[in-house]
A and B are shown apart, each in its own frame.
Chain A
Amino acid sequence: MSHWLRSFLLILWWNVLSSRADLPIYFMVQTMLSVGVVTGLGFLLPTASPTEAMYLCTGSMTVSLITVGMVLAPQTVSYRRQSGFLDYQRSLPVPRTALMAADATVWTLLALPGFVLSMIVATLRFGLSYQVSPLVVPAVLLVVVSAVTIGYSIAYLVRPVLVNLITNAVIIVSLLFAPVNFPVERLPDWLAQVHRFLPFQYMAELIRQTVDVPPAGLSAAPFLVLAVWAIAGTAIACRVLSRRD
């Protein structure tokens, strides 16, 4: 077995063991959040049109992934940074990318139940039917990897005390001020322009078009933009993980 794979599996095992007590709570909160977003937004828009309902449904699925990658992950990493856990793992003869990948795997597995549940709840709530593309699998992975690596970069670069503030802002922005649960046309021009340079819109587009393929077919743009985000996030996170003070 290669050194990388062995390190990855052992660190993955360590992470699962060490957060075993917290994982059920993470799972419950994340699932409740995913389901809660769909039902809560349903209260806001009791008579949603099929298009609006599709936005709400796929939007809440996207929010469930963003919550794991850009809220739970950075908060946990920030705690590990303060407790010395991160530095201890950094002092081991383990490739940095294996450390990152082991963590990202845990978060991906944690994100999936909420993702699927929010889809089921939205279907029941709004009576939607989907044209799911097999590309939904790489799409979900791409969204989680970009969200986790951006989340990690936040956790490594920002002082721990600010991490909670930023992750709370991320949730509010992704729920209310980003074209995730509604079309971008509803935003003021300046905010729509800002979102051209942020990942939220592309995450939502990617999930929306792979969960319910539009008649015109899939667009490559969100795949490409998120791939750039994921690569940049991974590069920054690995760089910071390898950084020597």
Chain B
Amino acid sequence: MRANDGISFDVAPGEICGLLGHNGSGKTTLLNQVIGLVRPTSGEVIVAGHDAVADPHTARRLCSYQPQTHNPIDGITPRQAVRLMARLRGATRREARDRTEELLTALDILPWADRQGSTLSGGVKRLTGFAMTAIRPGRLVMLDEPTNDVDPVRRTLLWQLIRDLADAGCAVLLVTHNVIEAERAVDRLLILDRGAVVAHGTPAQLRGDDADRVRLELLAVDQATAARLAADNGGTVTGRRVMSTVDVGEVSNLIAWAQRQRDRRLIEEFSVAPVSLEDVYVRILGSTGHRPGEPVDDGRRS
């Protein structure tokens, strides 16, 4: 079975590139191929001009990697782990100490800085893993689901630090399932399915025609009403909920129509929102399996 097939893209310094895709779509395999834990059967991986397949040691020097699993910090404290990683990547003692304090402060995890790794919550472990990766970043920073387990407030801090890495000149390649957050935080997205790129581009490019459409969501009084509304006006039904997309020019008519349905007590509530990237993602991949969409070409290699 091919884990990855014909994937070709580049990430520029200063850019955050998000990798989206279902579980098992090949995202982690791709990162492992870059870092030299998995050998691609063919093709090339170039990191800052170096052939990562032929010389994985140089690739590891040029890349910083936060794996999907928790970083192994059992028995050591976040402060020790982050300093150790800085020293392993060539920082002096003083640099390691100062930068560690900066990062732990920026991530707001100082209260846990001297607690044993095994006693930490999943979120603090994940943030420590990020700090271990970002403490002395390589030219390419690869983050595999860095926001998992992290609370909403610290997630915002984390996204800011990821942006800081890019602003400092790192190329950032990041895997996530959180499409909504990715839309706000990344410069460019690649959607993988079964080891192949099925769409890529900026969030706006991926939205494409959907950029001029809005999403109408209705909550019907019962499932039969929901089915009837969907049959009459289009849309998909999930329980009592009906979802459909319409042209943005129709919004005022739409709201008037929805209000009438509410007055007739056919629906309990409704909402109108711009089509999100999550809608696009679901449209491209389908909710259960492969439904390739048209790749959006943004002029880069595809």
Chain A interface residues (CB < 8 Å from chain B) = 6-7, 10-11, 13-14, 17-22, 80, 83-85, 87-95, 242, 244-245
Q: Which of A20, A87, A94 contacts B67 (CB 8 A)?
A: A87
Alpha-carbon gap, A6 to B86, bound state (A): 12
Residues of B within 8 A of A88 (CB): 67, 69, 71-72
Chain A, Cβ-Cβ closest to B87? A10
Chain B, Cβ-Cβ closest to A80? B72
Q: Are B88 and A84 within 8 A (Cβ)?
A: no
Q: Are A14 and B37 within 8 A (Cβ)?
A: no
Contact with A along B91-116 (1 / 0, CB 8 A): 00000000000000000000000000
Q: Are B72 and A13 within 8 A (Cβ)?
A: no
Alpha-carbon gap, A14 to B56, bound state (A): 23
B89 at the A/B interface (Cβ < 8 Å)?
yes
Chain A, Cβ-Cβ closest to B74? A18
Chain B interface residues (CB < 8 Å from chain A) = 32, 35-39, 56-57, 60-61, 65, 67, 69-76, 80, 84, 87-89
Alpha-carbon gap, A88 to B39, bound state (A): 16
Number of A-B contacts (CB under 8 A): 63
Q: Which of A6, A10, A80, A91 contacts B37 (CB 8 A)?
A: A91
Given the known interface contacts A88-B67, A88-B71, A244-B37, the answer about A93 and B61 at a Cβ–Cβ threshold of 8 Å is: yes
Given the known interface contacts A91-B60, A93-B89, A94-B88, the answer about A18 and B76 at a Cβ–Cβ threshold of 8 Å is: yes
Q: Are A244 and B88 within 8 A (Cβ)?
A: no
Alpha-carbon gap, A80 to B71, bound state (A): 12
Shortest beta-carbon distance, A115 to chain B, in Å?
26
Q: Are A18 and B72 within 8 A (Cβ)?
A: yes
Alpha-carbon gap, A44 to B70, bound state (A): 49
Shortest beta-carbon distance, A241 to chain B, in Å?
11
Shortest beta-carbon distance, B148 to chain A, in Å?
14
Q: Are B37 and A245 within 8 A (Cβ)?
A: yes
Q: Are B75 and A244 within 8 A (Cβ)?
A: no
Chain A, Cβ-Cβ closest to B40? A244
Residues of B within 8 A of A7 (CB): 88
Q: Are A14 and B60 within 8 A (Cβ)?
A: no
Alpha-carbon gap, A59 to B74, bound state (A): 36
Residues of B within 8 A of A80 (CB): 72
Q: Are B84 and A93 within 8 A (Cβ)?
A: no
Q: Which of A83, A87, A93, A242 contacts B88 (CB 8 A)?
A: A93
Chain A, Cβ-Cβ closest to B138? A93
Q: Which 8 A-B pairs have the closest CB atoms?
A: A244-B39, A85-B72, A18-B75, A93-B61, A84-B69, A93-B60, A17-B76, A91-B35
Q: Which of B67, B74, B75 has most chain A Cβ within 10 Å?
A: B75
